[in-house]
Amino acid sequence: MAQNERKTIYSYGYKRCADQDAAEPVRRPVVVVGAGPVGLAAAIDLAQRDVPVVLIDDADRIGEGSRGICWSKRTLEICDRLGVGEKLVEQGVTWKLGKVFHGDDLVFAFDLLPEEGHKMPAFINLQQYYLEKALCDRTDEFDNLDLRWRNKLTGIEPRNDHVRLTIETPEGPYRLDADWLIAADGARSSTRDLLGLQFSGVTFEDKFLIADIKMKADFPTERRFWFDPSFHSGQSALMHKQPDNVWRIDLQLGPDADVEAEQEPARVRARIERILGDIPFELEWVSIYRFNCRRLDRFVHGRVVFVGDAAHQVSPFGARGANSGIQDAENLAWKLAAVLRGEAGLSLIDSYERERTQAADENIAHSTRSTDFIAPHSSAERRLRNAVLDLADRTEFARRMINSGRLSVATVYDTTLSTPDEDAFKGSAKLGAPVPDAPMRTPKGEGHLLEHIPGEFTLLYVKNGAPPKVPDGVRLETVGADLSDSDGSFAQRFDATPGAAYLLRPDQHLCARWRHVDAAKITAARDRALGRN
Amino acid sequence: MAKLVTASQFAEPDDAYVTLVQARRGLSDEAAADLDTKLVLILANHIGDLDVLKEAIALAKRAK
């Protein structure tokens, strides 16, 4: 929980809208609360799917503080589909290596993307306000996306097939009806409070100092993590590069740290000088945090659907917060669009809850284990942790137990929307997971597979004579005709053989595959992925 | 189905015991606890079976 107020980085203005002057509440298909990364992603994804969206936020600005900085490959792939991926990569610091030190000695290094042929890198670091700015700019390109600043949700009345909202503005309140309300209003969600919902989970006692500093240094772009370094004895430390010569420094302070005193600039500077020695630096942003690993029991409450931090929270080790929130948004957007078009029933929204609570549980488990390793609960647990670190330079098994954060990867959904394999497949493509990217050549030149899966059901068919007939609403892409496998990566990653076919959901997750397929099987798998059975 | 072997496996149990005694002779409680913790990790990995580990923990917690 941040303890300080944030300065404004970008300002936006309140504008009166016609809904405020309507005699009766206007009915909207979707209202999204919260214009952070998750709410913005949900709103843009829906708008791209021709669903009109109202996005409201109680502020009128994007605030300072890097907050989220690590954006994962899957998040970048989603952002690419939303039209901002390349811009983010251009702005961000690309990295894939992590190093772990015990004391001042390197004990372990990892590479998060050891193979080539993916459009997006394993991770970029980019201040959250830049990502929010890029998404805000993108919203301007949609006539069916209405972003309303200084519109604060103050009331929710659940009705049978919609919710009636009360929204406070600088000119007074107005009411609005929504078929669906997406609550993306963050860790301190007022939607959650208005519905009286509680979190279950754990709060960690240890406090952490997070500082963003500006300095000119030629440290590597890797994620560097220390257990018990000489500059911060007995505790852990993390250092990571952001654009604009800004560096994230994260220092464990223990459970007894004084929150006020630890934020005093002189005290923070002294701690950082111990790390940097003589290198001059400026403090950009300082905050003290305690971490929660918890979630709502249910993410869907009638016509209100929770996404991101409003639904679940994790510690930051592993970058599983904002990244998983953006993946919530992607999972929900296509399903809500299908329900609103009448192509699917409410069971498809239930599948959002099942798939994303699976993801939340996975993220919470990883994040809890990382936090247990980084901040042991007792001296007996610390002894065990230190024994692992002591053994790490001589044994592989101990190196693999070191947990400074298991970094965010997409969840492989164990879901009824997938059609179980009838044929055996090897390769890195997994049923229920986003498909791996691969280089693809088209008549226009070299590119990547995921660029050709823009957000509809897609059958990827490996050419072997005439292609199968596909039902309405399914795109056909033929590898060996429209697309060609530039260097054999596709064949390897998909274990592709002539005639093989792969059905991808609108969120690029693999939901069915066959060595040989016919129209009936494709239709059945598509219907299943829409929750129709 | 129990997987943990509790029947004696050392041909000379006294040799095994004295080896463990000698490893900690002269150590402070602190240093002995550090040693034991590392031994637990090394041997647990050598066994490499989570079910056996869980049975061993349950047995150790019961035995007083």
Residue A371, min C-alpha distance to chain B (Å): 20
Instruction: Evaluate if residue B15 carries a pLDDT over 80.
Output: yes
**CATH topology agreement for domains A8-93+122-199+295-366 and A439-529:** no
Contacts of A511 (CB under 8 A, 6+ apart): A417, A418, A419, A431, A432, A503, A504, A505, A525, A528, A529
pLDDT tens digit sequence for A26-35: 999 999 999 9
Asked if B33 lies within 8 A of A383 by C-beta distance, the reply is yes
Asked if A384 lies within 8 A of B37 by C-beta distance, the reply is yes
Instruction: Evaluate if residue A106 carries a pLDDT over 90.
Output: yes
Residue A410, min C-alpha distance to chain B (Å): 26
* Average pLDDT of the residues in A438-444: 93
pLDDT tens digit sequence for A164-217: 999 999 999 999 999 999 999 999 999 999 999 999 898 888 999 999 999 998
Contacts of A218 (CB under 8 A, 6+ apart): none
Taking one residue from A and the other from B, the number of pairs with CB-CB distance under 8 angstroms is 24
Look up residue B36 and give its two tokens.
Answer: 């034991």
Q: What is the pLDDT of residue A8?
A: 82
Contacts of A449 (CB under 8 A, 6+ apart): A435, A437, A438, A439, A440, A483, A490
* Average pLDDT of the residues in A501-524: 97
Amino acid at A464: N
Amino acid at A431: L
Look up residue A332 and give its two tokens.
Answer: 């929900």
Residue A361, min C-alpha distance to chain B (Å): 21
Residue A3's pLDDT band (cuts 50, 70, 90):
very low
Residue A20's pLDDT band (cuts 50, 70, 90):
very high
Contact A526, A503 (CB under 8 A): yes
Contact A437, A453 (CB under 8 A): no
Residue A356, min C-alpha distance to chain B (Å): 28
- The count of domains in chain B is 1
Q: Tell me the residues of B at the A interface, defined by beta carbons under 8 Å apart.
A: 33-34, 37-38, 40-42, 45
Contact A375, A291 (CB under 8 A): no
* Average pLDDT of the residues in A288-315: 95
Residue B46's pLDDT band (cuts 50, 70, 90):
very high
Q: How far does chain B reach from its first CA to its final CA, in angstroms?
A: 24
Handedness of CA A383, A384, A389, A392 (dihedral sign): positive
Asked if A387 lies within 8 A of B33 by C-beta distance, the reply is no
Asked if B34 lies within 8 A of A397 by C-beta distance, the reply is no
| Model ipTM value | 0.95
Which residue segment(s) compose the domain that B59 sits in?
28-64
Q: What is the pLDDT of residue B1?
A: 67
Architecture of domain A439-529: 3-Layer(aba) Sandwich (3.40)
Does B19 map to a domain? Answer: no
Chain B residues with CB under 8 Å of A388 CB are 41
Does B38 map to a domain? Answer: yes
Does B41 map to a domain? Answer: yes
Chain A residues with CB under 8 Å of B37 CB are 383-384, 387
Architecture of domain A8-93+122-199+295-366: 3-Layer(bba) Sandwich (3.50)
* Average pLDDT of the residues in A276-280: 92
**0.90 exceeded by pTM:** yes
Q: What is the pLDDT of residue A1?
A: 36
Q: What is the pLDDT of residue A5?
A: 55
- Residues of chain A with pLDDT > 70: what percent? 98
Question: Which strand (E) or helix (H) includes residue A221?
Answer: none
Domain ranges across chain A: 8-93+122-199+295-366, 439-529
Asked if A384 lies within 8 A of B41 by C-beta distance, the reply is yes
